[in-house]
Amino acid sequence: MKKKKLYLPVLLAVFMLVTALTGCGGSDSHKVTKAKDLPGARIGVQVGTTGDSFVTENYEKKKGTDIQRYDKGADAVQALKQGKIDTVVIDDQVAKAFAEKNPDIKILDEDLVVEQYATVFAKGNDELREKFNKGLAAIKADGTLDKITDTWINKKGKYHYKKKVKNGPKLVIASSIDFPPYESFDGKGDIVGFDVEMLYAVTDHMGVSVEIQNIQFDSIIAAVDAGKADIGVSGFTITEDRKKSIDFSDSYIDTAQVMLVKGSGSDGAASFAEKIHNNFVKDGRWHYLLRGLGITLLITFFAVILGILFGFLLAVIRVAYDKNGSLRFLNYLAKLYLTIVRGTPVMVQLLIIYYVVFASVNINKVFVAVVAFGLNSAAYVAEIIRSGIMSIDDGQFEAGKSLGLKFHTVMIYVILPQAFKNVLPALANEFISLLKETSISGYIGLSDLTRGGQTIQSLTYDALLPLGAVAIVYLVLVVGLSTLVGKLEKNLKKNER
Amino acid sequence: MAEIMMEIRGLTKRYGDHTVLENIDLDVKKGEVIAIIGPSGCGKSTFIRTLDLLEKPTAGHIMIDGEDLNDPKTNVDEILPRIGMVFQQFNLFSNMTIKRNITFAPVHHKLMNQQQADEKAMELLERIGLADKADAYPSQLSGGQKQRVAIARSLAMNPEIILFDEPTSALDPEMVGEVLNIMRELAEEGMTMIVVTHEMGFAREVANRVLFIDEKVIKEDGTPEEVFHHPKNERLKEFLSSVLH
Ligand SMILES: Nc1ncnc2c1ncn2[C@@H]1O[C@H](COP(=O)(O)OP(=O)(O)OP(=O)(O)O)[C@@H](O)[C@H]1O
Ligand SMILES: [Mg+2]
């Protein structure tokens, strides 16, 4: 009981410590005003982008250069604003979008590299690629692409292209929806941007409908390569490296890499109430959290069921071997399974199950997550239940046998109820950690609770409120579940003693 | 001559190279109360546990009604329920009430329905003086009470023979009597029993046959009078002088 009271203060202390260390204790800053200042600077990039490879190639080896790779451009901008890095190297259009929303950062007037954007296709998928190129040529010829460019890139004109073909044959599009003005969520949760309208126009020419899946940028090429998606549309720059694993369409826009730095403008410090409004109330943004919570709970619930059923089976196989020497081969397989699952990170298992095991089938992602987390949890459940069974006195088995009861009868009616009661706390802890582990579901493109918070973050460029809210929801769930289990345990004890 | 209910021939038990019992022959007659005595570690428990297949005999035959328990072809599931066993550590099912401990096996084997089993359980509990504990759990009982329930549990199966492995050794001295009294009553009713015991008084008064096991074999086999008052074997004489003083 004492532990529980300690829990919150300790948590807060750790939280503050971490904030202090990462937020305020930044290393010596280094002013960047032109490209010549980049060596030795702390440079932020979005992982896997042109900015990343440009900076890595040219500056990584330079003394004192510290390259920070972020999953999202918005995270890099956040870090810049907090003074954790000196500059962000990023596509100019994206940089403009950030600079517009954040008065305290500015773009340096110097292009680093000019590059071309194109969409990506699996190697050898020439038929689809050629059809796409034809459609692209058509919208270039009839002026549609120019109009879309005016709206999104040059910020003049109100033209918006609306998708016409919404049924019939469908293409699955992989895109990392965190890259305005190319692709991002609008307030209503719809996917919008330059790439999106370009895609709509081209695919209308092809006569097909599209389904856009939100996939982490550095996973898109793998998804296209594995056949999980037909086309990757996410502001991809044509590079020789990428050409080795995928094919590019013709280019649809030229862009440059630029440097973002902290400017003199103020953040326009919004009041706390304004921030709350902006992060949760405006455009119904709290829905991202609510829907995310639903998905998190759904995955956890079914993963727990799968974990119990399969874990149970594994435990019984192991015990049958330990007690009777039977099922030798199955026991061997079970042991192998436990070693592999407990010896590798659940994140890697999730990615393998999504990209390898279910590579060639277009399958519901919640199902994939349930399978991955359920199979992972089963390994831990199995060992917990097994230790519970082994802790029951052999005399209980012998008494059953002396009454002429079979092994499985004694197991079901005598041993398991006792074992279950003994391991209930351990099992509950396993499921509580499972709930937390599902927070990596975003890596296969699921919009779970954590991803919901990140989505709000990418809309508002505020980290504390959305992520804090996510943390609080997890905390409430975990503490609530722990309390419930404690009560259940007490009841079980009362029943028997 | 009473009929023979269990015929043991050439029973041998080894753990690896270590032989615990060698070539034991024994006929158990119906209604006999056999006490088994012998020094610690001589194999008394091992012997009695092989008769219920809690230990697998290395060799030999255990014949009941012409069927051999140690023959892989025999359907032991039909024979084992007819042999009761009472353990030193009671081994009541901790997750079940006292009543359910008694009714579970007979109902599971379809010897009776739940209602009949409940009635029988209450009868047995009356008899051992624990009717008020029917809904209690084993952890709420004293050692002597648990052992009485364990006896009732094996009686509920209507066994033809009950094996006891030191049923009073784990009890506080003041509780030994209540358990021995029930065993004495069973003996008087004609129940066939084999009892491994350190209670020489019980062996002398209640048993009608006493076996002395030592050095892997039955060294002496006779009435209590013969074994306790006219021991022939030297090791038995030593053993008796060590336990009786
Ligand atoms: N599972 C086992 N593996 C190896 N040796 C065993 C095993 N069980 C018993 N033994 C050995 O068999 C011998 C007989 O043991 P057993 O328990 O039958 O003796 P006992 O006569 O009942 O002794 P006690 O009076 O102390 O209960 C002992 O030497 C013991 O070490
Ligand atoms: Mg013993």
Are A129 and A88 contained in the same domain?
A: no
Q: Alpha carbon B89 to chain centroid distance? A: 13
Q: What number of residues does chain B have?
A: 245
Chain A partners within 8 Å of B82 (Cβ):
404
B109 in A contact zone (CB under 8 Å): yes
CB contact under 8 A, B80 and A417: no
Pairing of strands B18-29, A246-248: unpaired
Chain A partners within 8 Å of B53 (Cβ):
401
Residue A216 domain-assigned? Answer: yes
Residue A13 has what pLDDT?
A: 55
Exposed/middle/buried for residue B65 (C-beta within 10 Å: 0-12, 13-18, 19+): exposed
Are A468 and A326 contained in the same domain?
A: yes
With a threshold of 0.85, tell me whether the complex ipTM lies above it. Answer: yes
Q: How far apart are CA A439 and CA A446, in angstroms?
A: 10
HEC-encoded secondary structure of chain A: CHHHHHHHHHHHHHHHHHHHHHHHCCCCCCCCCCHHHCCCCEEEEECCCHHHHHHHHHHCCCCCCEEEEECCHHHHHHHHHCCCCCEEEEEHHHHHHHHHHCCCEEECCCCCCEEEEEEEEECCCHHHHHHHHHHHHHHHHCCHHHHHHHHHCCCCCCCCCCCCCCCCCEEEEEECCCECCCEEECCCCCEECHHHHHHHHHHHHHCCEEEEEECCHHHHHHHHHCCCCCEEEEEEECCHHHHCCEEECCCCEEEEEEEEEECCCCCCCCCHHHHHHHHHHHHHCHHHHHHHHHHHHHHHHHHHHHHHHHHHHHHHHHHHHHHHCCCHHHHHHHHHHHHHHHHCCHHHHHHHHHHHHCCCCCCCHHHHHHHHHHHHHHHHHHHHHHHHHHCCCHHHHHHHHHCCCCHHHHHHHHHHHHHHHHHHHHHHHHHHHHHHHHHHHHHHCCCCHHHHHHHHHHHHCCCHHHHHHHHHHHHHHHHHHHHHHHHHHHHHHHHHC
B157 in A contact zone (CB under 8 Å): yes
Alpha carbons within 13 A on the beta-carbon side of A360:
0
Chain A partners within 8 Å of B74 (Cβ):
none
Q: Separation of B15 CA from ligand 1 center, angstroms? A: 10
Ligand 1 contact, B16 CB (< 6 A): no
Residue with CA at minimum distance from ligand 1 atom 6: B15
Q: Are A227 and A359 in contact (CB under 8 A)?
A: yes
Residue B143 has what pLDDT?
A: 94
Of A402, A406, A418, the CB nearest to B94: A418
List beta partners, residue B241. none
A398 in B contact zone (CB under 8 Å): yes
Residue B245 has what pLDDT?
A: 67
List beta partners, residue B24. B11
Alpha carbons within 13 A on the beta-carbon side of B26:
28
For B56, name the nearest residue in chain A, comparing CA atoms only: A324
Q: Which amino acid is at B67?
A: E
- Tokens (6 digits) for A356: 């390898």
Residue A5 domain-assigned? Answer: no
Residue A36 has what pLDDT?
A: 85
B83 in A contact zone (CB under 8 Å): yes
- Tokens (6 digits) for A300: 């956890």
Are A85 and A190 contained in the same domain?
A: no
List beta partners, residue A253. A117
B84 in A contact zone (CB under 8 Å): yes
Are A162 and A230 contained in the same domain?
A: yes
Q: How far apart are the first and last CA of chain B?
A: 37
pLDDT mean across residues, chain B: 93
Residue A270 has what pLDDT?
A: 67
Provide the shortest C-alpha distance from residue A388 to chain B (in Å): 14
Residue B167: asked if its preceding bond is cis (omega within 30°), the reply is no
Are A120 and A88 contained in the same domain?
A: no
Ligand 1 contact, B46 CB (< 6 A): yes
Q: Which atom, in ligand 1's list, is nearest to the CA of B18?
A: 5
CATH number (domain holding residue A338): 1.10.3720.10
Q: What angle do CA B211, B13, A329 make, to 5 degrees?
A: 145
Q: How far apart are CA A386 and CA A314, in angstroms?
A: 9
Q: Are A80 and A196 in contact (CB under 8 A)?
A: no
Q: Which amino acid is at B62?
A: I
CB contact under 8 A, A402 and B54: yes
At residue B151, the 3 state secondary structure works out as helix
Q: Separation of B168 CA from ligand 2 center, angstroms? A: 12
Chain A partners within 8 Å of B140 (Cβ):
497
For A422, name the nearest residue in chain B, comparing CA atoms only: B95
Q: Are A375 and A348 in contact (CB under 8 A)?
A: no
* Chain A from 357 to 396: CB within 8 A of any B CB: 393, 395-396
Closest CA to A21 of A84, A81, A86, A74: A84
A494 in B contact zone (CB under 8 Å): no
Are A333 and A457 contained in the same domain?
A: yes
Last residue of a domain, one of A66, A85, A113: A113
CA distances from B52 to A328, B216, B235 (A): 26, 19, 28
Are A241 and A305 contained in the same domain?
A: no
Ligand 1 contact, B42 CB (< 6 A): yes
Residue A28 has what pLDDT?
A: 55
- Which of B15, B19, B47 for a ligand 1 pocket mutation test, highest count of atoms within 8 Å of Cβ? B15
Residue A462 has what pLDDT?
A: 81
Are A199 and A63 contained in the same domain?
A: no
**How many Cβ pairs within 8 Å bridge chains A and B?**
66
Residue B244 has what pLDDT?
A: 77
**Residue ranges in chain B modelled with pLDDT below 70:** 1, 245
Residue A41 domain boundaries: 19-113
Provide the shortest C-alpha distance from residue A337 to chain B (in Å): 32
Chain A partners within 8 Å of B91 (Cβ):
393, 395-396, 398-399
Q: Separation of A429 CA from ligand 1 center, angstroms? A: 41
What contacts A52, CB < 8 A, 6 or more positions away? A45, A46, A67, A69
Residue A496 has what pLDDT?
A: 56
B171 in A contact zone (CB under 8 Å): no
Chain A partners within 8 Å of B157 (Cβ):
403-404
CA distances from A264 to A61, A93, A106, A118, B211 (A): 31, 21, 9, 36, 103
The per-residue pLDDT for range B25-72, each reduced to its tens digit, is: 999 999 999 999 999 999 999 999 999 999 999 999 999 988 999 999
Q: Separation of A444 CA from ligand 2 center, angstroms? A: 61
What contacts A407, CB < 8 A, 6 or more positions away? A320, A323, A324, A397, A401
State the total domains in chain A.
3
Q: Which amino acid is at A487?
A: K
CB contact under 8 A, B80 and A406: no
Are A109 and A134 contained in the same domain?
A: no
Last residue of a domain, one of A113, A130, A165: A113
Residue A495 has what pLDDT?
A: 61
Q: Which atom, in ligand 1's list, is nearest to the CA of B196?
A: 22
Of B91, B153, B154, the CB nearest to A396: B91
Residue A434 domain-assigned? Answer: yes
Residue A336 has what pLDDT?
A: 95
Task: Kindly report the pTM of this predicted structure.
Answer: 0.67
Residue A26 has what pLDDT?
A: 40
At residue B2, the 3 state secondary structure works out as coil
CATH number (domain holding residue A255): 3.40.190.10
Residue A189 domain-assigned? Answer: yes
Inter-residue long-range contacts of A278-283, CB under 8 Å, 24+ positions, other chains counted:
A278/A460, A278/A462, A279/A456, A279/A460, A279/A462, A279/A465, A279/A466, A279/A469, A280/A456, A280/A465, A280/A469, A282/A187, A283/A186, A283/A187, A283/A188
Last residue of a domain, one of A96, A113, A130: A113
pLDDT in tens, chain A (497 residues): 444 455 665 566 556 555 544 444 344 567 788 888 888 889 999 888 888 888 888 888 888 888 889 888 888 888 888 888 889 999 888 888 888 878 788 888 888 888 889 999 999 999 999 999 999 999 999 999 999 988 888 878 889 999 999 998 999 999 999 888 899 888 777 899 999 999 999 999 999 999 999 888 888 998 999 888 999 999 998 888 888 889 999 999 988 888 888 876 555 556 788 888 888 888 788 989 999 999 999 999 999 999 999 999 999 899 888 887 788 899 999 999 999 999 999 999 999 998 888 877 778 889 999 999 999 999 999 999 999 999 999 999 999 999 999 988 999 999 999 998 888 888 988 999 999 999 999 888 888 999 999 888 887 778 889 999 999 999 999 999 989 888 887 877 766 54
B74 in A contact zone (CB under 8 Å): no
List beta partners, residue A261. A87, A106
Residue A398 domain-assigned? Answer: yes
The per-residue pLDDT for range A194-247, each reduced to its tens digit, is: 999 999 999 999 999 999 998 888 889 989 998 889 999 999 988 888 888 899
Residue A268 domain-assigned? Answer: no
Q: What angle do CA A42, A46, A52 make, to 5 degrees?
A: 70
- Cα maximum dimension of chain B: 55
- Tokens (6 digits) for A54: 């440009």
Q: Chain A interface, mutation test: which of B94, B96, B112, B163, most A Cβ atoms within 10 Å? A: B94
Q: How many Cβ atoms sit within 10 Å of the Cβ of residue A314?
A: 25
Chain A partners within 8 Å of B137 (Cβ):
495-497
- Tokens (6 digits) for B75: 């359907």
Are A86 and A132 contained in the same domain?
A: no
Those residues whose beta carbon sits under 5 angstroms from the ion ligand 2 are B 45
Of B89, B96, B105, the CB nearest to A405: B105
At residue B13, the 3 state secondary structure works out as strand
Are A464 and A342 contained in the same domain?
A: yes
- Which of B17, B42, B165 for a ligand 1 pocket mutation test, highest count of atoms within 8 Å of Cβ? B42
Pairing of strands B4-15, B18-29: antiparallel
Q: How far apart are CA A496 and CA B18, in angstroms?
A: 42
Which string of b and e fits A284-312 if b means at least 16 CB within 10 Å? ebbebbebbbebbebbbebbbebbbebbb
Are A347 and A480 contained in the same domain?
A: yes
A404 in B contact zone (CB under 8 Å): yes
Residue A6 domain-assigned? Answer: no
- Tokens (6 digits) for A135: 């459609």
Q: Separation of B173 CA from ligand 1 center, angstroms? A: 25
At residue B94, the 3 state secondary structure works out as coil
Pairing of strands B161-165, B83-86: parallel
For B158, name the nearest residue in chain A, comparing CA atoms only: A403
Residue with CA at minimum distance from ligand 1 atom 2: B15
A413 in B contact zone (CB under 8 Å): yes
CB contact under 8 A, B140 and A414: no
Residue A222 domain-assigned? Answer: yes
Q: How far apart are the first and last CA of chain A?
A: 21
